[in-house]
Amino acid sequence: MKQKKEWYRLDNAGKLYPSITSTRVSTVFRLSATLYNNIDSKVLQIALNNIIEYFPYFKVNLKRGLFWYYFEHTEKYPKVQKETYYPCMFMFYKNKNSFPFRVLYYNNRISVEFSHSITDGVGAINFLKSLLVEYFNLLGINTDSHKIPSKEEAEDAFKKYYVKNVPNPPKLKKAFHFPFKLNSKGEYYIITGIIPMDILLSTAKKYNASLTQFLLALYFDTIQDFIKSNNFKLLPVVINLPVNLRSIYPSNTMRNFFISVTPQIDFRLGTYSFEEIVNYIRNYMQLTLNKKYINQHIHHNVKREKSIFIRLIPLFLKNLMMPTIYSKYGERNYTTGISNLGLITLPKSIEDLVERIEFYPPPSIGNIIKVGTIGYKDNIYISFGSLTKTTTIEKIFFRKIRKMNIPVKIETNRE
């Protein structure tokens, strides 16, 4: 008897991504772990085969419905690949038999790249952790066993924590954008700055800011310097900061569960001192990081999806409309984005076997430079993902950190 194939709806945030994906806007992000020894690809493949059963909601193919895309369970297994392209490249995940994620290896590094349609950074971290644990298990290192995922881990938490009858949040206006020339298609540049965690934290403390607040302030200040030294026609600077909602709601979902908050500073009002920026951000976070504010945004997103008009538009029309709508209401209103995945901890038994963990944000035309940060062991890794050859923003940013007497080491995939 043939069993009925399991299928999943895309979650509220994930629904958007397949419709806006293009060769440049891949909506793919990367998490990678660098070990001390070269990767054994055969062992990695077995590890992947073993753990994928615990992530049934990832063992899927994207399919076209009449009105929405959906994920369908597949009997096939994903294959590990040797890394040959630029990071976060376009994924043919709309094709038959291709997965919405990939596992790559290169020398001593394992990378997982996920389409944002299926999960966010937190889901990807959990997956990478399990993969590492299983990989070392197979190499004969005693580690903890896997936990069986519960049904809850595939839930659409947006829908679960949706509150009815809340007014819409105020609309954003067009934000300042970096006026840099786009690079060739098929290329994506990363510049990673490696910074000792303790020094960065103590400096942030001096300004009475958390790490995220401090980095955000540095980024605002960087853009301020850039704007003021070039005399651009000014628009407000808006930075998109995704917030992991699992820290606010008791969900363990492995699918998307984040909301973007959008601190903004209008440099037409004058020059801001660093202290003023930090102050603004600290206050902004207090205003926004509470259930009432977040509910308003969840409500807005879910309401849009629930609208009967949007539901009844055939998928091909959605695909035609979404890129324009997204650029008009989405990234047009942000200057750039910075997403902080926080401090990652691995089980003690394998911590000494993994040198570092890095996070690369997805490439996008609307925001040609985006930042992904992640902390692991003693360092914080700040990665600028960029679709332009210009490195001005990165230069100003890291020079600023150096001026505060914080050591920085720079690495890049640029030639």
Partner 1 sequence: MPYCPKCGVEVDYKITNCPLCTFPIPDIPDENNNIKVSKFPRPENKYYETILKIKNQIFFTLSILIFCAVLILITINSIIDAHPLAINYSIISVVAAWFYIFIFLGYISSLYYSILGIGIVTMFLTLGIDYVDGRINWFFSYALPVIILALAIIYLFLYLYNRSKFLNKFIFIPSYLFIGISLLSVGLECILDYQAKKSISLSWSLIVFIVLISIAVLLISLYYKLPDIIKEKIKRKLHISLF
Chain residues binding partner 1 by CB under 8 A are 23, 34, 82-87, 106-109, 179, 184-187, 191, 193, 391, 394-395, 398-399, 402, 407-414
Task: Give backbone dihedrals phi and psi of 340, rounded to 5 degrees, phi first.
Answer: -110, 115
State in angstroms the smallest separation of the CB of 65 from partner 1. Answer: 26
In the complex with partner 1, the residue whose CB is nearer, 22 or 247, is 22
State in angstroms the smallest separation of the CB of 402 from partner 1. Answer: 4
CA distance 364 to 222: 20
CA distance 35 to 226: 37
In the complex with partner 1, the residue whose CB is nearer, 165 or 405, is 405
State in angstroms the smallest separation of the CB of 163 from partner 1. Answer: 38
Evaluate the CA torsion angle 243, 247, 251, 255 in order and state its sign: positive
Which amino acid is present at 124? A
Q: Are strands 101-106 and 80-82 parallel, antiparallel or unpaired?
A: parallel
Residue 90 in contact with residue 364, Cβ under 8 Å? no
In the complex with partner 1, the residue whose CB is nearer, 42 or 414, is 414
State in angstroms the smallest separation of the CB of 265 from partner 1. Answer: 23
State in angstroms the smallest separation of the CB of 52 from partner 1. Answer: 25
In the complex with partner 1, the residue whose CB is nearer, 23 or 168, is 23
Residue with tokens 């000494």: 352
State in angstroms the smallest separation of the CB of 412 from partner 1. Answer: 4
Residue with tokens 């909602």: 245
In the complex with partner 1, the residue whose CB is nearer, 252 or 388, is 388
In the complex with partner 1, the residue whose CB is nearer, 193 or 375, is 193
Residue 349 in contact with residue 141, Cβ under 8 Å? yes
In the complex with partner 1, the residue whose CB is nearer, 107 or 324, is 107
Task: Give backbone dihedrals phi and psi of 222, rounded to 5 degrees, phi first.
Answer: -60, -45
Secondary structure element (H or E) that encloses residue 358, with its range: strand 354-360
Q: Are strands 28-35 and 354-360 parallel, antiparallel or unpaired?
A: antiparallel
Residue 253, CA distances (Å) to 48, 247, 292 in order: 20, 12, 21
In the complex with partner 1, the residue whose CB is nearer, 104 or 302, is 104
In the complex with partner 1, the residue whose CB is nearer, 67 or 106, is 106
In the complex with partner 1, the residue whose CB is nearer, 228 or 402, is 402
Which amino acid is present at 266? D
Q: Could you tell me which residues come within 8 angstroms of residue 179 by beta carbon, excluding any fewer than 6 positions away?
A: 232
CA distance 287 to 293: 8
In a 13 Å sphere around the CA of 218, the CA atoms on its Cβ side amount to: 27
State in angstroms the smallest separation of the CB of 395 from partner 1. Answer: 4
Residue 249 in contact with residue 161, Cβ under 8 Å? yes
Burial class, 30, CB count within 10 angstroms (exposed 0-12 / middle 13-18 / buried 19+): buried
Residue 132 in contact with residue 354, Cβ under 8 Å? yes
State in angstroms the smallest separation of the CB of 385 from partner 1. Answer: 13
Residue 91 in contact with residue 34, Cβ under 8 Å? no
State in angstroms the smallest separation of the CB of 391 from partner 1. Answer: 6
State in angstroms the smallest separation of the CB of 178 from partner 1. Answer: 12
